[in-house]
Amino acid sequence: MTGRANDLHRIVIMGVSGCGKSTVGQALAHTLGALYLEGDDLHPPGNIAAMSAGQPLTDEMRAPWLDRIRDAMDQLVNEGHMVIAGCSALRRIYRERLAQTGPVFYVHLALSPAVAHERIANRLRHFMPASLSVSQARALEPLYNDEQGITLDAGSDLPEIVEQVLLALKSSPDPEPKRFPIDSGPFSNRG
């Protein structure tokens, strides 16, 4: 891959559960020769237990998980890899936390709540119950105009989604490192 994608070392595939983050992320990683990082694998055990019991995560519960994803992306980028990570990144403050140490390009896979619920209900061997799709849909904040990324229909064919991402990466403006302070509230690094 030439052009813009070489300058963007961190790509996060985001959206509600069931939108296809893992499928798209793995396909995009294969196409770009990048590494795929499954954000669900980095949840602390308490988060998995809460979600398995049908309890939505709080901001306080998400903070260490987002830190793990960000730190894992940083480690892989520092080793010279491009990283594609799957992470719901539902709210702007979550995305700011992920981008605290370097620019991130977001691919928001948009999906209706009804389709998300159906997809989750039909999944096997996953801790996320379909009942949480409602809270995720309520929490979702689409990408803001000043966030680097693209929003795509998660119902599109996989090759079409990958092609749209590649086109967006090529035409993306130069990534400017954004540093977001997290020194207050639930996303504080302080005790």
The confidence score (pLDDT) of residue 189 equals: 37
Structure confidence by residue, pLDDT tens digits, 132-191: 666 777 788 999 999 999 999 888 999 999 999 999 998 876 544 333 333 334 333 333
Q: Which amino acid is at 117?
A: H
Strand partners of residue 109: 152
pLDDT computed for residue 184 by the predictor: 36
| Mean pLDDT value of segment 94-106 | 95
What is the structure's pLDDT at 81? 95
CATH number of 4-172: 3.40.50.300
- The answer on pLDDT for 61 being more than 80 is yes
Q: What is the pTM of this model?
A: 0.80
Question: Picking from 52-61, 70-79, 148-157, which range would have the lowest pLDDT averaged per residue?
Answer: 52-61
Q: Which residue's structure tokens are 């302080």?
A: 190
- Residue 131 has a pLDDT of 55
Give the C-alpha distances (Å, rounded to integers) separating 58 from 3, 46, 62, 69, 190: 39, 12, 6, 17, 17
Residue 73 pLDDT > 70, yes or no? yes
106 neighbors 12 (Cβ within 8 angstroms): yes
Under the banding of pLDDT at 50, 70 and 90, the label for residue 122 is low
Helix (H, G, I), strand (E, B) or coil at 150: strand
Bridge partner residues of 108 (DSSP): 14, 151
CB proximity list for 8: less than 8 A, separation 6 or greater:
82, 103, 105, 169, 172, 175
Q: What pLDDT sits at residue 178? A: 38
Task: Note the pLDDT tens digit of each residue in 27-41.
Answer: 999 999 999 999 988
Domain boundaries, the chain: 4-172
More confident residue, 19 or 87: 87
Transcribe 85-138 into DSSP letters: EE----SHHHHHHHTTTS--EEEEEE--HHHHHHHHHT-SS-S--GGGHHHHHH
